[in-house]
Amino acid sequence: MINVDAAPFAFTFDPAATALVVIDMQRDFIEPGGFGETLGNDISHMQRAIAPTARLLALFRANGWPVIHTRETHAADLSDCPPAKRERGSPALRIGDTGPMGRILIRGAPGAEIISECAPVTGEIVIDKPGKGAFYATDLSAVLQGLGVRSLVFAGVTTEVCVQTTMREANDRGYECLLIEEATESYFPEFKAATLEMIRAQGGIVGWTTPLATFEQSVKRQPEQA
């Protein structure tokens, strides 16, 4: 077992029953010309999560622990994108429209792909999800059960939407969830801060949070903790 100094209290996990879930580190959300920018957002906030997420991926890969990536994507005919989602707000471009990186959030389009710095490697699982939560209309539950996972470490974007939604879904299914603070971001820093507080409120009602360096040091000490 590995013990991590986390908030609101220590997070303990079994490396043999733990997976990293990296949420939606896609070009459409992070790079110039993508969907996030068409909504009028400052994408520089999102880019702060790239290097920490890459470090977290490297740590899991070095230890041979499972990694799962998610992509928020839709079918080319938008049959899995309800009007209630597509027609919200007044962006310059909507889901399915053609932008600088192809059709926005459509499976197979360049913009829907995961950024190169955090791209999956051979053997890592990629879940395409049509909703904000990664359990909705996907086989994520079956994947986790097949891996024998009981604890999940989270990274990705955005903190208050797809990351938090998936953590809440996981919590309802009995998983212990830890969010790495620097490896997640929002277009709105105040939303990220509020979400971190919500996750660890009331004795960790959704889960735990911890800085990346703290998690790294805890993993480094694992032989002493075994």
- Catalytic positions are 24, 129, 162
Q: For residues 196 and 209, what is the distance between their CA atoms, to the nearest angstrom?
A: 7
Q: For residues 201 and 195, what is the distance between their CA atoms, to the nearest angstrom?
A: 10
Provide the 8-state DSSP code for 106: B
Measure Cα distances from 154 to 71, 87, 213 in Å: 14, 29, 15
Tokens representing 211 are 């800085």
Measure Cα distances from 55 to 35, 60, 75, 172, 180 in Å: 25, 9, 32, 28, 11
Q: How far is CA 109 from the centre of its chain?
A: 20
Tokens representing 105 are 């959030």
Q: Are 176 and 9 in contact (CB under 8 A)?
A: no
